[in-house]
Structure 1
Amino acid sequence: MSDNWLHSPQEQSALLRRIVDRIRGSLELKVVLQTAVDEIAALLNLQRCYFFWCFEDTQRVQVVCEQLLDDGRSPLLGYYALADFGLWAEAIARGQLVGQPGTPESRSWGASPLLGESLADYLLVPVRGQDSSLGYLVCLRESSGCWLPGEVAFLQAIAQQLEIAIQHAQLYEQVHKQAQRERIVNQITSQTRQSFDLETILTQAIGQLRQALAVDRCIVHLVELEGEPDLSVNDDDSTAQDPAFRRKHLYESCHPDFPASVEDFDTHGPITQWVVQHRRRVVIANVDQDERIGPDNEEYCKAQIRSSLVVPVQTREALYAILYLNQCSRVRFWSMNDQKLAQAVADQLAVSIQQAYLYAQIRQQAAESAAQAAHLKATLQELRATQAQLIQSEKMSGLGRMVAGLAHEVNNPITFIYGNVPYIDAYLQDLVQLVKGYREACPNPPLALRALEEEVDVDFLVRDSQQILTSIRIGAERIRQIILSLRNFSRLDESHRKLVNVHEGLESTLCILRDRLERVEVVRQYGELPRVECYPKQLNQVFMNLLMNAIEALETQPGRSGQIDLRTELVMSPESHRALIRIAIADNGPGIPPDIQPKIFDPFFTTKEIGQGTGLGLAICYQTVVTQHRGSLTIQSLPGQGTEAIIELPVRLVQAIAPRQMEAQICCPDAAVSAQIS
């Protein structure tokens, strides 16, 4: 490319924008760096152009991108010692511009042993990345004089934009790595929730970790803890289909190109002993240079291990295992992302192993003392019942306060509007009569008054005003009905039992759910019912939960017309010969599978996705109907034929049972209703 652009600010600006646009065309760090190297090499006619990272802590550099125009030069991609740069090393470590461009003294730096001496003109431009990471753009060309100040300034401008692109790419890479860590940890967490089988958890975890980090071997060594149960398996249990190799307390996942090494693994080797003693991570880039291992270690030589990352699997209380990541095909410098991912997996495995130990201990204790296990189960059920009651109580209290406040705040202004509509109507009629009188008294008004009358269009104004008043009256009446329904539903001032009309509670609930019922046909078959003694607010909540379940069931089959049938009737109990009211709420939805019907009244049981349901709706309904009102609640359902909920309540309440019995009954309703569920 011609050098004319050096003397034209407009061309420089255009070139800079073009190069920056290409550099920012990707969020992959390798693509960003390679694009920058290619563009700079083409623009400045460079024989070689590189980008490398400088790691001050290890005194090494990593050449990650290059562009070679002289075919005789071998690629330099890979890791090198910082000392290979000769006199440049100190300046590179400090992040300086290397080459002293524009002055004859630039030759005083000398040539780099790594880059060679065939090219006399060189320039190394520092580039800062995220977290103070340091990189360099290396520009080399044949001897043709010093670097021009314009060239250096342009390269520094590109470097500034490249720093932004690198930071974005590094942030994207960091988020991607974080997502990868979370995905693997979540998979291990999910496996832990599905099974407490430690062998399954460990073998799958090390297999996923080995693939994620592209290592050749991944081994987990369970450290024997005094007093902990033995969770290992016998060698006789292994099968040919098992993707991981194992020995007592050892599990391994390895690349197909390398044989299993667990048989030769030394559980008391030098690295194992060091981790057990210090409980810290060990990062070994080259095992031959580690004084604890050395080049002649038989175990490492036989397993062909060249690099190793060892992470303790521990909690604050104990060291449960040691995780070994071994690279056999090459020497590997373990990045922080590698170490973070391995540490995240180790932390989750520590939790999984701890849970497995706890689970084994609980099983042993249960086998030794059945009575103690039953006591623990009863305590858990009582806690869950108390939690369910607290949640429902707080929810209903908040709903009642909200509805009462809403009804109070809206009722006053809407009553004012509704009450003044007749007066406005009367005043308007008087004005109309007045206008008519003026027209009769003055049939030929002045031209100005006639023009004003035509502009105002009095006749249209009178007609439209009547329609507006009618709309205001209808809207105000509708709002009053909604407020009445909300107050009737919440019944905040009716915390005690009283005589109520059940049909009013059903209609209030339907009114509140009007928006959800737009595509659902509601068929009412109400019988003649007496006023029922009950707790109105709690009973309305039962109607709400059952109707919501029916609506949500219908919404799962959008192509089919939905229908909800409400049926009420007065019946006589065959056992006690007392009057009962029966309320049936049926839908034509998909029905409930038979295998889950015995569980539908269990607290916290739900078939919805996580975060979409609490599993308390039917449990609350059962508690309210059976425990509080001494009635019955049954669910009849056949797959594909819909579901029907039948509530039977006594017309007059008998004495309530003790609160402790109420808590117990919400926990174990199956015994009372399982026979009634078809």
Structure 2
Amino acid sequence: MYSFPFCVNWSLFHGKQHAASQAALLRRIVDRIRNSLELHVVLQTAVDEIAELLNIDHCLFFWHFDELDRIQVVCEHRAELAPSYIGNYSLSQLGAIASLIQRGELVLGTGHLSQPFGLHLITRLLAGRSTKMPAPETTLLGKHASLLIPVEGQERSTGFIACLSNRPRHWSGAEVEFMQAIAQQLGIAICQAQLYERTQRQAQRERLVNQITSQTRQSLNLKSILKAAIAQLLEALAVDRCLVHLVEDPDQDDEPSAELTVGAQAEQSHTVFRRKHLFEVCREPLPPSIHDFDTDGPITRWVIQTRRQVVISDVNQDERIGPNNQEYQLAKIKSSLVIPAQADGKLQAILYLNQCSHIRYWSKDDQKLAQAVADQLAISIQQAHLYHQTRQQAQASAEQAKQLAAALQELQQTQAQLIQSEKMSSLGQMVAGVAHEINNPISFIYGNIPYVERYVRDLLHLVEGYQQCMSSQSSALKALEADIEYDFLVQDLPRVLKSMKSGAGRIREIILSLRAFARLDEASCKVVDIHDGIESTLAMLKNRIQADVAIAREYGQLPMVECFPALLNQVFINLLTNALEAVEHGTAAPKTIIISTETIYPDESEQPWVRIRFADNGCGIPRAVQPKVFDPFFTTKAVGQGCGLGLAISYQTIVHQHGGRLTFRSAPNRGTEFCIEIPVEQAVVPQGDRPIPNAGQMQQSNPERALPR
């Protein structure tokens, strides 16, 4: 900082010969003042230079705000132990000098004179006999207000350079004129600095709004947008609290909640507090105030009604709040700026900016920045709400589609059941009719064969008796014996009768198996032996079982099982048919199908279940089609070779009608194992209420048993 090593002799500046020296000194001071574009640096440099130049006790710069009847001391130059006057003061605290400051007049310690004539008159008076000029005493902040020079500054405010001293001081005309010149140049520097600051604030405002816009485009998560925005605004305006109140917010939980997150988008990290419809960020060590925030407070109601900003420099002086408002006292709020956030004429939220450390007079730039952020937040909130509504509609459409898919699946299952029921009904009736029609003649044949055997045996004995009684036979009889091959007939006729008896017995067994498979002569649900059902199914498929296919039975001790025998036999025949086809297309040798049964107690249940496994070492099921094997009408066979109902009906029978489980595990070229698990006793549960396992349950593998090799 430039300092003067001597006190300037202002009497030397009265002559024209010293005009150049005065201009050089002014230019030197002005250059130092204009060395920065930051307003605070400009003002501080000015008071420092003036204090050193004039050798005064205290020099300060303050703003007088026309609308507020207050002054704000923004910078000063003082002695090391002298008190500081930085801060805000009411005009009522300034005494008689207040009216002069209000009018923006130049003030001397010996009196005051208005512009523009004051300077010339002061110069004339002080040049002759300044020490004898009578004037009333003027003071400012407890010191002699030796000289107050008005400076043109920002709108609706006037700046003053105040030269204070501990005792009265007399000023020469040259000093006053020089101070006027400095004030004029300082006014220009202030305008430049204010223009620079406005440009910076405009850039900051646009940067902040662009950040919020970018966040809105990247994510429509309203919570993330609000948290980042208020954290950034807290830093941009240097406030102590920033709070957003969502006036209408359908996308929130029903119950109030609190959560802590870090606003990573802000210049500094801040803790964001949240309550239902409220988001707040505050500086440490201030505690959150959202739990004490009144969402129906006087300021909130006023903003909702008027849709206008609320600018409060001192909350104690605001009639709507008052000095005894507990909410503001708990939050330690001294100044508040409240901005409505509106979009398309609808109030979306209210933005609260609160100062707690000191009373703050909100500038127009503060209000513009807060309003720009509020407008962008309103758009973001509106877009988030629209996105939420769109998601709700999409979810409703997805739910409707899901219901339609379930209805379609149920329709397909019903159709498959109807087809199977009709097939089983027709097959049962045909089997019953065929068995009935065949049963009567076969029973007649099978029952008369013993009599035929006895009759033939008697006749042969009779012929033998005739042969023994006749000593000689006629040539005609001998020719007849040779012609009919009597000796062969005697030997072969018993064998023929035995074969007829065996064939009739086999036919009778087949008829019994058909009747057992159809079960038309028995109740729908009854207690049966599972092993008998498996054996009758194997008997039905005997002609399908090739000679190189081995059927291994690993039966355990099973109790009698309550089930639907006809339906369960149909499941057995479906699974065994698939197993036979798999081993026919497989390459393993020997071709094996293992049928095993055991009693189990699933899920630590006291009620026993039976488990039936059909395992083969055939070609296996490709992994791509495994999720679809239980779907109705799904088949991997060629057209005309399968309808895709076998496994679907089997699953329906086991799961829905028996309340059991049908699972499988398979690996390509390593075989397949289907596992049936049903309870020994059927629970009285309507079929429609049976649980339907998902695809994962349908395909649940059983690691307890390896596939046959």
Question: What TM-score results when the alignment is normalised by the length of structure 2?
Answer: 0.49
Q: Superposition pairs for residues 89-108 of structure 1, below 5 Å?
A: 89-99=98-108, 100=112, 101-102=122-123, 103=125, 108=135
8 Å Cα contact 1:87/1:109 also seen in 2: no
- Cα distance change of structure 1 residues 24 and 364 upon mapping to structure 2, 3 Å threshold: same
Residue 110 of structure 1 aligns with which residue?
137
Residue 2 of structure 1 aligns with which residue?
8
Residue 260 of structure 1 aligns with which residue?
288
Q: Superposition pairs for residues 96-495 of structure 1, below 5 Å?
A: 96-99=105-108, 100=112, 101-102=122-123, 103=125, 108-112=135-139, 114-117=140-143, 119=144, 122-131=146-155, 133-141=157-165, 146-224=170-248, 229-231=250-252, 238=259, 243-368=271-396
Structure 1 runs (4+) deviating above 6 angstroms are 370-373
Cα deviation, residue 263, structure 1:
1.7
Distance in 1 (CA, whole Å) between partners of 2:94 and 2:275 is 48
Residue 44 of structure 1 aligns with which residue?
54
8 Å Cα contact 1:48/1:140 also seen in 2: yes
1:449-478 deviation per Cα after TM superposition (whole angstroms, max 9, x unaligned): xxxxxxxxxxxxxxxxxxxxxxxxxxxxxx
Distance in 1 (CA, whole Å) between partners of 2:390 and 2:380 is 15
1:541-563 deviation per Cα after TM superposition (whole angstroms, max 9, x unaligned): xxxxxxxxxxxxxxxxxxxxxxx
Question: What TM-score results when the alignment is normalised by the length of structure 1?
Answer: 0.51
Distance in 2 (CA, whole Å) between partners of 1:239 and 1:270 is 28
1:482-540 deviation per Cα after TM superposition (whole angstroms, max 9, x unaligned): xxxxxxxxxxxxxxxxxxxxxxxxxxxxxxxxxxxxxxxxxxxxxxxxxxxxxxxxxxx
Distance in 1 (CA, whole Å) between partners of 2:142 and 2:257 is 61
8 Å Cα contact 1:6/1:151 also seen in 2: no
Distance in 2 (CA, whole Å) between partners of 1:79 and 1:279 is 30
8 Å Cα contact 1:23/1:35 also seen in 2: yes
Distance in 2 (CA, whole Å) between partners of 1:268 and 1:343 is 22
8 Å Cα contact 2:60/2:161 also seen in 1: yes
Distance in 2 (CA, whole Å) between partners of 1:252 and 1:6 is 61
8 Å Cα contact 1:198/1:231 also seen in 2: no
- Cα distance change of structure 1 residues 93 and 239 upon mapping to structure 2, 3 Å threshold: closer
8 Å Cα contact 2:151/2:187 also seen in 1: yes
DSSP 3-state at the match of 1:262: coil
- Cα distance change of structure 1 residues 183 and 107 upon mapping to structure 2, 3 Å threshold: farther
Distance in 1 (CA, whole Å) between partners of 2:58 and 2:179 is 15
DSSP 3-state at the match of 1:131: coil
Q: Compare CA radii of gyration and give the structure with the larger one.
A: 2
- Cα distance change of structure 1 residues 360 and 127 upon mapping to structure 2, 3 Å threshold: same
Residue 624 of structure 1 aligns with which residue?
none
Cα deviation, residue 153, structure 1:
1.1
How many matched pairs? 366
Q: Among 69, 78, 90, which residue is 1:81 paired with?
A: 90
Residue 630 of structure 1 aligns with which residue?
none
DSSP 3-state at the match of 2:64: strand
Cα deviation, residue 131, structure 1:
3.2
Residue 656 of structure 1 aligns with which residue?
none
1:59-108 deviation per Cα after TM superposition (whole angstroms, max 9, x unaligned): 01111111124x55311111111232322222222222112345469764
Cα deviation, residue 372, structure 1:
14
> CA-atom RMSD, angstroms?
2.6
8 Å Cα contact 1:126/1:137 also seen in 2: yes
Cα deviation, residue 271, structure 1:
1.1
8 Å Cα contact 1:232/1:249 also seen in 2: no
1:356-412 deviation per Cα after TM superposition (whole angstroms, max 9, x unaligned): 112222233344458999xxxxxxxxxxxxxxxxxxxxxxxxxxxxxxxxxxxxxxx
Distance in 1 (CA, whole Å) between partners of 2:255 and 2:45 is 55
Which structure 1 segments of 5+ residues have no match? Answer: 374-678
Percent identity over the alignment is: 57
Distance in 1 (CA, whole Å) between partners of 2:329 and 2:165 is 45
1:594-633 deviation per Cα after TM superposition (whole angstroms, max 9, x unaligned): xxxxxxxxxxxxxxxxxxxxxxxxxxxxxxxxxxxxxxxx
DSSP 3-state at the match of 1:196: coil
Distance in 2 (CA, whole Å) between partners of 1:322 and 1:58 is 25
1:557-611 deviation per Cα after TM superposition (whole angstroms, max 9, x unaligned): xxxxxxxxxxxxxxxxxxxxxxxxxxxxxxxxxxxxxxxxxxxxxxxxxxxxxxx
Distance in 2 (CA, whole Å) between partners of 1:35 and 1:68 is 13
Deviates more, 1:277-286 or 1:101-110: 101-110
